[in-house]
Amino acid sequence: MQEGFNSPERSSTAATGHGTAWPAGGATALPAAWTQQSAGAPAWGEPAPQPAGPPPAAPAPPRERKSRWKRIFGPLIALGLLLLKFGAKLKGLLLLLPKLKLFATSASMLVSIGAYALIWGWRFGVGFVLLLLVHEMGHVLQLRREGIKASAPMFIPFLGAFVGMKEMPKDAAAEARVGLAGPVLGALGCLVPWGIYALTGNELFLALAFVGFFLNLINLLPVLPLDGGRAMAALSPWMWFVGFAMLVAATFAFPNPIMLIILLFGGFETWRRWKARKSPESQAYHRVRPRTRAAVAVTYIGLAVALAVGMDLTFIDRDFGDV
């Protein structure tokens, strides 16, 4: 840089570039201060080099390993803190888990209402499902009185509803009480739409009352697994075959899938109990006091008569001219 700066040829180029004449003699005429250039100084007209900063330090391996562990466990630590923060709320959600049974019952009710509404309209669908609920709640209440654990009512479109027992009753008398409790409360429930019809004159409620009476009367057929079959366990197991024969005749007269399903399950249950009738456990189970047997018979016959009368009083006589 120093040699290029003191060259006469370089000096004349620089002078020409600035439009100024230099004195003769070239470098000897330059001021002393201009010729005192330190090593590494830039030539005239060249930009001064910027001082170079220190090179960036490479990340140390231990630091990189630490950041990798931080990336892995950082989200887990954050999740743990979040769980601790909302621990009380999560505990409250866990306490709501037993209420899932209520959710399942409500969901099955809504599905059944939608299925019935496709055929008979949503108002009839709601009323019919509520009548089914009243019937099943009769079983649930009596099961609790007997100290038997049971599931919440579950609804199956076009098949009705059911309550699952977690264990068998202690004897046939308790089973009969559980079986008859459904039609008893169901018959009382039919009085509600019948009363609404009396107040409003809306035949929809009269039709609901009729269907409710009919539904509970069908359940009194003396065949398992219907309610009447459970009542017969306290009277005479021989009546199961009578009820089964009646159901077979009704299925041939009015064939439909529901009766076929009842025949199928009822046949297996009846045969299972009949084969075990001579076992000590079965004989002890069906040992019922005469007074209890008479009470079951009176309730069964009286309930069947009341339901038949209710059907007759709520029947709507129609012909094709009313359609």
Indicate the helix (H) or strand (E) that contains 26: none
104 pLDDT band (50/70/90 cuts)?
A: confident
Radius of gyration of the chain (CA): 48
pLDDT at 96 over 80: no
pLDDT at 32 over 60: no
DSSP-assigned states of every residue in 36-93: -PPTTPPPTTSPPPPPPPPPPPPPPHHHHHHHHHHHHHHHHHHHHHHHHHTHHHHHHH
Nearest to 45 by CA among 90, 94, 88, 11: 11
Rounded Cα gap, residues 82 and 75, in angstroms: 10
Predicted confidence (pLDDT) per residue in 252-293, tens digit: 887 777 778 878 888 888 888 888 888 888 888 888 899 999
The structural domains of the chain, with segments of one domain joined by +, span 102-322
Contact 310, 220 (CB under 8 A): no
Predicted confidence (pLDDT) per residue in 135-189, tens digit: 999 999 999 999 998 888 899 888 888 888 888 888 999 999 999 999 999 999 9
Backbone angles phi, psi at 278, to 5 degrees: -95, 0
Nearest to 156 by CA among 203, 115, 217, 198: 115
Q: What is the pLDDT of residue 240?
A: 80
Q: What is the pLDDT of residue 33?
A: 43
